Amino acid sequence: MDFAFASGDQEFRTEAREWLSEHVGPDRDRRTWERTLGKAGWIGLGWPEAGYGNRVASLTRQVVWAEEYARSGAPPRSGHIGENLLAPTLLAHGSEEQKARFLPPVAGGEELWCQGYSEPDAGSDLAGVRTTAVRDGAYYRISGQKVWTSLAHEADWCFVLARTEPDSRRHHGLSFLLVPMDQPGSVEVRPIRQLTGTSDFNEVFFDGARARVEHVVGGEGAGWQVAMSLLGFERGVSTLAQQVGFAKELGEVLRAALGSGAVADPVVRERLVRQWAELRVMRWNALRTLGSSGDAGAPSVAKLLWGGWHQRLGELAMAVRGAVASVGPGEWSASVSYELDALQHLFLFSRADTIYGGSDQVQRTIIAERVLGLPREPKGVV
């Protein structure tokens, strides 16, 4: 069922569908695709302000675009971190100069971003950041390590949470800096090879990397407030688009179950029906909370729902295929990376769904402390 009902929204759906059908193709690399989207104004639909080369669309139309994008089979986005995380943060906390400098290249698909938050000793506990930024004239010199940095190998810029006040602790003394990645000898990116054989995540090492003083968002020492504000933008319209992708994967699992004869097993049938029903529940929950504010637990509930659901789908994908699920689609060789088919990739990648983006334990802690008002979990001193 489509979310949009008004005639104007249906016309927008038709426009989006026709544009995507014309421009989606197998020959586009991801950076070229971002520029194609930007040239047509499709980047930044959810921004509250126009004038940066973007269209501005209502919440309903943002959902329409996200769903049509997912249905079209368009390439994975490389620019979503800049569009959906950095841009709303700059619009809320950035100076006019920062908006004018950074938003047009994001809207045009010209500059790609990554997020420098997690560290080896500060993943889920973000207040434990140890990366430092020392003032040096018109610049800050940044030293430290970030990890699990999505798309850092493609990014032009990184927004980095770093400690600018010496000897500060926890959430005090942090700043939110915009750092160029093209600094040979000062910024090193090391891809992290995953179970799937791909390397979407990276380690990033800063060794005296420079960031301009005027590129500190919100002012020195305001990093914690800015960082928390950004995390509030991480989930929203994109959840509904994600569910379109989930529905496609569920369809593939169902076809595999029919092909293998696994649907003859009543337990398998029950699991398939449960996956379908839970996906519908997630959709209606996403629609119920869409555009709402002030509900501290809603993003955590959504993450708990989809993380566990997707992981169970990966397990079901292997179960319906039986022993053949352990065999790859190509000949194995010790000298060549192993191949995976779509369902094997789903299973292996989904093992991390309950960890990345805030582990299940972290989400339950947020619900316990911020919604239920239970005593806060004691934190160690950094």
* Token reading at 235: 């989930």
Residue 87 sits at φ, ψ, to 5 deg, of -60, -50
The whole-number pLDDT of residue 382 equals 41
| Phi and psi at residue 52, to the nearest 5° | -110, 15
pLDDT of residue 28: 67
How far apart are the C-alpha atoms of 84 and 239, rounded to whole Å?
12
Q: Nearest 5°: phi and psi at 31?
A: -70, -40
Catalytic residue among 188, 234, 252, 369, which? 234
Between the alpha carbon of residue 234 and those of residues 18, 76, 130, 325, 361, the distances in Å are 28, 17, 23, 34, 18
Q: In 10 A of CB 360, how many CB atoms?
A: 16
Tell me what pLDDT residue 270 has: 96
- Counting as low any pLDDT under 70, the low residues of the chain are 1-7, 26-28, 122-126, 232-238, 291-296, 332-337, 379-382
What integer pLDDT is reported at residue 314 of this predicted model?
95
How much of the chain, in percent, has pLDDT values that exceed 90? 46
Write down the residue that tokens 């390439």 correspond to: 75
CA atoms of 333 and 246, how far apart (whole Å): 32
Q: Are 182 and 158 in contact (CB under 8 A)?
A: no
Output the pLDDT for position 99.
Answer: 95
pLDDT at site 6: 57
- In the residue annotation, 369 being an active-site residue is answered as no
Predicted local confidence at residue 381, as pLDDT:
46
Total number of residues shown for the chain = 382
pLDDT of residue 302: 85
Asked if residues 106 and 216 have their Cβ atoms less than 8 Å apart, the reply is no
Angle at 158 between CA 366 and CA 210, to 5 degrees: 125
Provide φ and ψ at 362, rounded to 5°: -65, -45
Residue with tokens 């190998």: 153
Residue 169 Cα distances to 129, 218, 227, 240, 380, angstroms: 9, 19, 16, 38, 10
Ramachandran angles phi, psi of 95, nearest 5°: -80, 165
